[in-house]
Amino acid sequence: MNHSTLSLKGLALACTIFVAQAAQAGPQAQAVERVVMGHAIPAVTLFSEQTKALDIAAQNECTSTALIPAYNAAFDAWMGLQHLNIGPIEADARSLTIAFWPDKKGMIPKSLKAQIEAQDSAVFDAGEFAHVSIASRGLFALEFMLFDDEFTAYDQGDYSCHLVQAIAHDLSQTAAYIASEWTREDGYGTVLLNAGTADSARYQSEAEALQTLYTMLITGLENTAVQRIGRPLGSFEKPRPKRAEAYRSGRALRNIILSVQAARDLAVTMAPDTPTETLDILDDVLAKAHALDDPTLASVADPFGRLKVEIVAQRIEASLGAIANDIGAPLGVSAGFNASDGD
Amino acid sequence: MTTRRNFLIGALAASMVPQLSWADAGSPAYLGAAKDESGQFALYGLSATSDIVFRVDLPGRGHAAAAHPTRPEAVAFARRPGTYALVVDCANGQVKHSLQAPKGRHFMGHGVFMRGGDILVTTENNYADRKGCLGLWQRSKDYARIGEVDSHGIGPHDIRMLSDGTFVIANGGIFTHPDQGEGRDKLNLDTMRPSLAYLTADFTLSEQHFLFDDLHHASIRHLAVHDDGLVGFAMQWQGDPFDSVPLIGLHRRGDAAPLLMEAPLGQQMSMHAYASSIAFNGAGTELAITSSKGGRLHRFALDGQFVGAAARTDLSGLAPYETGYLGSDGFGALLAFDPDARVLNSVAGLSWDNHLVSLPRLG
């Protein structure tokens, strides 16, 4: 299978399916269609394009300084997609293969060091590299190679240079595969658009498909509040700034902002009408996050600084109620029953 | 709520009709609790093909149920820290008895019948004495409480009976008190010590297994029992949800230690350190756990090898189905995994609760 070409045929087909169904599509089917066509497919496409650009840049010139702009563009594109942890992104834990975080045991530097020391030949074979530890793959392995002093001192032609090229290429292959799975003829996009029809074994109703997408909206925001903000916050006595996501590349705050922007876009796209209250809160979250002006979230170590960061998380939590009112209730969907409250 | 009056009517009716069997309740193969669109909780019976064959309203959110081995009778347990359990006549939808946990105890959500269905054994938190216990109730005495025994660990959750009458108990290890955090605050995480305990049919401790110290936060919660005596257990990690720790184990009585199983790193992390339910497949050749928090099913061979994963948002309940598994989610779907997921039945507005209980195959 050729994963590198984005299937526009599939995309066109998805459009055809939509047109065929539009006449009788109810509000839930329409919401699914808006999300697939207006949110998900543009996001997977952009991520595939930006990682392809990163791959090409890396094969050209692999040094840290040369690659950082393309790296940031690829990471930005991932932030527009990471909340959609379903279908091909969920399968085989691709989400963690792309973004291995949190790395609680410091596996990434250990794994990279081991590879460099052993001069592991997997870097010269894309097929082999696709089977190395996920700690050595994806955006966070690249972050170490491009930003951490222990790894950045390499030149064109060094083993580390080949390692960076292998990670970039592997990432773009994964992204291309995800895009192709979303857009191909019988792909995940079609599965969602066909929910409730005889062709769909996965989703027996439009409600199920929409429910899945709605859950991604809610868990995406919860992840940002609990993980991206909660981890570095730690406790008042013991703040943990070094637990912030992507602080090495100075992207900790940027990732929070981009994840909220992605959720905002998903909310607006899914909502049957302008979700006024949701937008009020999420825009307030974004304004407060921008105002932190603290790329690495180092300010969590300061009592006043952490208060401001905490407020951002609290406002994100507050948006969940607004989303339930603005979007969940009119569309007849709610967050997971067991996921939030097991036993 | 059962009043004395309708209790008497029920008792009278029971004495007049011939003995009913599960066939009179539509021959369900599974029981599951769910919340419907209006917010009403109920216990449902499901056929072997997962169609709903009966429904009995419950006063609140349930956890699991114990099915009588022959009579169409199920005991629905309130969710922790509930103090009531309802004996439901699945043939006519009536609540026949309401069991009240004695002072200082509450139900833990699971139970099992023994002695041909005459004795019901319930897992309970004896919070007054800070220990786990098993309550004994006699069906032929209108479910009178006839005694209680030690569960040999704090926080007994699931309990199963092996084919030779031995009990296996998942002592979750977590102490809770109904006065603290609505009975769900975990009060002993630093010292918790979960265990798998085997008790003889007369409730003597015959064997007990503790996990290694670095896994003492792995709360053993749910059990599955193979016909040949192999016991599967599912755990819920009381640490960071991103810790990569084993969530499923296998043990056979007499073995020195349980076999703990893990999926490859990325898949393992995707479970969010939480297993909701566990079951052997219908063929008895493998077993699986679900994680509602990770929206996943992880399958393992009986030698401990990871076999594969399936994704389904909010997947929780799990039971054997044909040669594979039956799963339930919080969005009304009942799915077959064999191994690919296939929706068998989907009821909009219905949220299936934590577990599916499979009934013994009846003639």
DSSP string, A211-274: HHHHHHHHHHHHHIIIIIIHHHH--SSS--GGGSTTTTTT-HHHHHHHHHHHHHHHHHHH-SS-
The reply to whether A178 and A240 lie within a common domain is no
The pLDDT tens digits of the residues spanning A186-214 come to: 899 999 999 988 666 678 889 989 999 99
In a domain, B46, yes or no: yes
B331 lies within 8 A of chain A by CB? yes
Do B348 and A102 lie within an 8 Å CB cutoff? no
ipTM exceeding 0.85? Answer: yes
In a domain, B286, yes or no: no
Cα four-point dihedral sign B320, B324, B327, B333: negative
* Whether B101 contacts B135, CB under 8 Å: yes
Which one-letter amino acid corresponds to residue A119? Answer: Q
Which one-letter amino acid corresponds to residue B229? Answer: G
* Buried b or exposed e, range A187-226, using 16+ CB within 10 angstroms: bbbbbbbbbbeeebebbbbbbbbbbbbbbbbbbbbbbbbb
- Residues constituting chain B: 363
By C-alpha distance, the chain B residue nearest A89 is B311
Residue A171 banded pLDDT, cuts 50, 70, 90: very high
By C-alpha distance, the chain B residue nearest A208 is B331
By C-alpha distance, the chain B residue nearest A90 is B311
Which member of A90, A96, A339 has the closest CB to residue B330?
A339
Contacts of B331 in chain A (CB under 8 A): 207-208, 211, 336-337
Contacts of A215 in chain B (CB under 8 A): 295, 313-314
By C-alpha distance, the chain A residue nearest B272 is A339
In a domain, B279, yes or no: no
By C-alpha distance, the chain B residue nearest A101 is B242
Helix (H) or strand (E) holding A126: helix A126-129
User: To the nearest whole percent, how much of chain B has pLDDT over 70?
Assistant: 94
Residue A340 banded pLDDT, cuts 50, 70, 90: confident
Residues contacting A30, CB < 8 A, separation 6+? A272
Write the burial class of residue B4 (CB in 10 Å: 0-12 exposed, 13-18 middle, 19+ buried): exposed
In a domain, A63, yes or no: yes
- DSSP for B101-157 reads PPTTEEEEEEEEEEGGGTEEEEEEEETTTTEEEEEEEEGGGTTEEEEEEE-SSSSEE
Residue A337 banded pLDDT, cuts 50, 70, 90: confident
d(CA B342, CA B323) in angstroms, rounded, equals: 14
* Whether B336 contacts B342, CB under 8 Å: yes
What is the count of residue pairs from A and B with beta carbons less than 8 Å apart?
A: 101
Shortest Cα distance, chain A CAs vs residue B95, angstroms: 25
Cα four-point dihedral sign A20, A26, A30, A36: negative
Which one-letter amino acid corresponds to residue A268? Answer: V
* Whether A48 contacts A172, CB under 8 Å: yes
Which member of B63, B293, B331 has the closest CB to residue A211?
B331
Contacts of A135 in chain B (CB under 8 A): 265
**Alpha-carbon distance values, B258 to B210, B248, B303 (Å):** 9, 10, 12
Do A90 and B316 lie within an 8 Å CB cutoff? no
Helices A41-60/A159-183 angle, 10° precision: 160
B311 lies within 8 A of chain A by CB? yes
Cα four-point dihedral sign A32, A91, B283, B237: negative
By C-alpha distance, the chain A residue nearest B294 is A339
Do B276 and A342 lie within an 8 Å CB cutoff? yes
Do B266 and A212 lie within an 8 Å CB cutoff? no
* Whether A147 contacts A164, CB under 8 Å: no
Which member of B240, B242, B266 has the closest CB to residue A93?
B266
By C-alpha distance, the chain A residue nearest B348 is A207
Q: In the structure encoding, which two tokens stand for residue B105, read together? A: 């105890």
B266 lies within 8 A of chain A by CB? yes
In a domain, B9, yes or no: yes
In a domain, B323, yes or no: no
d(CA A334, CA B35) in angstroms, rounded, equals: 13
Do A208 and B333 lie within an 8 Å CB cutoff? yes
The reply to whether A79 and A163 lie within a common domain is yes
The reply to whether A159 and A281 lie within a common domain is no
Do A211 and B243 lie within an 8 Å CB cutoff? no
Cα four-point dihedral sign B82, B85, B91, B96: negative
Q: What is the mean pLDDT of residues A291-320?
A: 97
- Among the three residues A166, A193, A220, which one is the final residue of a domain in this structure? A193
d(CA B247, CA A342) in angstroms, rounded, equals: 15
* Whether A10 contacts A2, CB under 8 Å: no
- DSSP for A160-192 reads HHHHHHHHHHHHHHHHHHHHHHHHSTTSHHHHH
Shortest Cα distance, chain B CAs vs residue A49, angstroms: 25
Contacts of B243 in chain A (CB under 8 A): 104
Q: In the structure encoding, which two tokens stand for residue B225, read together? A: 């029992």
Which member of B35, B314, B348 has the closest CB to residue A207?
B348
The reply to whether A167 and A57 lie within a common domain is yes
Contacts of A194 in chain B (CB under 8 A): none
- pLDDT of A20 reads 46
Contacts of B80 in chain A (CB under 8 A): 343
d(CA A173, CA B325) in angstroms, rounded, equals: 34
A1: pLDDT strictly greater than 70: no
Do A338 and B353 lie within an 8 Å CB cutoff? yes
Query: Could you tell me which residue, A135 or B361, shows the higher pLDDT?
Result: A135
Q: Which of B314, B316, B334, B352 to mutate to test the interface with A (most CBs of A within 10 A)?
A: B314
The reply to whether A141 and A246 lie within a common domain is no
* Buried b or exposed e, range A55-76, using 16+ CB within 10 angstroms: bebbeeebbbeebeebbbbbbb
Q: What is the mean pLDDT of residues A320-341?
A: 91
* Whether B316 contacts B346, CB under 8 Å: no
The pLDDT tens digits of the residues spanning B279-289 come to: 999 999 999 99
In a domain, B361, yes or no: no
The reply to whether A113 and A176 lie within a common domain is yes
The reply to whether A189 and A210 lie within a common domain is no
What does the DSSP 8-state code read for residue A159?
H
Query: Could you tell me which residue, A340 or A211, shows the higher pLDDT?
Result: A211
Q: In the structure encoding, which two tokens stand for residue B81, read together? A: 């820290």
**Alpha-carbon distance values, A288 to A262, A266, A284, A301 (Å):** 16, 20, 6, 18
| Domain that residue B2 falls in | 1-74+87-100
In a domain, A161, yes or no: yes
Distance of CA A269 to the CA centre of its chain: 17
User: Domain of A96: which CATH number?
Assistant: 1.20.1420.20
Residue whose tokens read 């099913």: B297
- Among the three residues A193, A217, A235, which one is the final residue of a domain in this structure? A193
Contacts of B353 in chain A (CB under 8 A): 337-338
In a domain, A31, yes or no: yes
The reply to whether A186 and A223 lie within a common domain is no
The reply to whether A174 and A219 lie within a common domain is no
The reply to whether A237 and A130 lie within a common domain is no
| Domain that residue A28 falls in | 8-193
In a domain, B202, yes or no: no
Helices (H), ranges, chain B: 4-16, 265-269
Do A93 and B269 lie within an 8 Å CB cutoff? yes
Q: Which residues of A touch B (CB under 8 A)?
A: 86, 90-93, 95-97, 100, 102, 104, 133-135, 201-205, 207-208, 211-212, 215, 227, 332, 336-339, 342-343
Q: In the structure encoding, which two tokens stand for residue A250, read together? A: 């100075």
Shortest Cα distance, chain B CAs vs residue A61, angstroms: 30
The pLDDT tens digits of the residues spanning B240-279 come to: 999 999 999 999 999 999 999 999 999 999 999 999 999 9
- pLDDT of B15 reads 52
d(CA B119, CA B137) in angstroms, rounded, equals: 6
* Whether B350 contacts B34, CB under 8 Å: yes
The reply to whether A46 and A84 lie within a common domain is yes
By C-alpha distance, the chain B residue nearest A231 is B240
B259 lies within 8 A of chain A by CB? no
d(CA B13, CA B8) in angstroms, rounded, equals: 8
Q: What is the mean pLDDT of residues B195-200?
A: 98
Other beta carbons within 10 angstroms of residue A234's beta carbon come to 16
Q: What is the mean pLDDT of residues A293-308?
A: 96
Cα four-point dihedral sign A282, A284, A286, A289: negative
- pLDDT of A24 reads 63
Strand ranges across the sheet with B52-58:
B52-58, B41-46, B30-35, B351-358
d(CA A72, CA A237) in angstroms, rounded, equals: 33
Closest CA to B245 of B223, B217, B221: B217
In a domain, A341, yes or no: no
d(CA A300, CA A244) in angstroms, rounded, equals: 10
B13: pLDDT strictly greater than 90: no
* Whether B275 contacts B263, CB under 8 Å: no
Query: What does the CA dihedral B179, B185, B189, B192 come to, rounded to 10 degrees?
Result: 60
In a domain, A97, yes or no: yes
B274 lies within 8 A of chain A by CB? yes
The pLDDT tens digits of the residues spanning B113-164 come to: 999 999 999 999 999 999 999 999 999 999 999 999 999 999 999 999 999 9
- Among the three residues A170, A193, A216, which one is the final residue of a domain in this structure? A193
- How many domains would you assign to chain A? 2
By C-alpha distance, the chain B residue nearest A211 is B331
Which member of A201, A205, A342 has the closest CB to residue B348?
A205
- pLDDT of A8 reads 42
Closest CA to B290 of B258, B266, B314, B259: B314
B267 lies within 8 A of chain A by CB? yes
Helices A252-270/A27-35 angle, 10° precision: 150
In a domain, B317, yes or no: no
Cα four-point dihedral sign A165, A166, A167, A170: positive
User: Domain of A282: which CATH number?
Assistant: 1.20.120
B324: pLDDT strictly greater than 50: yes
- How many domains would you assign to chain B? 1
Rg (CA), chain B: 19
In a domain, A337, yes or no: no
Residue A11 banded pLDDT, cuts 50, 70, 90: low
Q: Which of A104, A337, A340, A341 to mutate to test the interface with B (most CBs of B within 10 A)?
A: A337
d(CA A223, CA A83) in angstroms, rounded, equals: 9
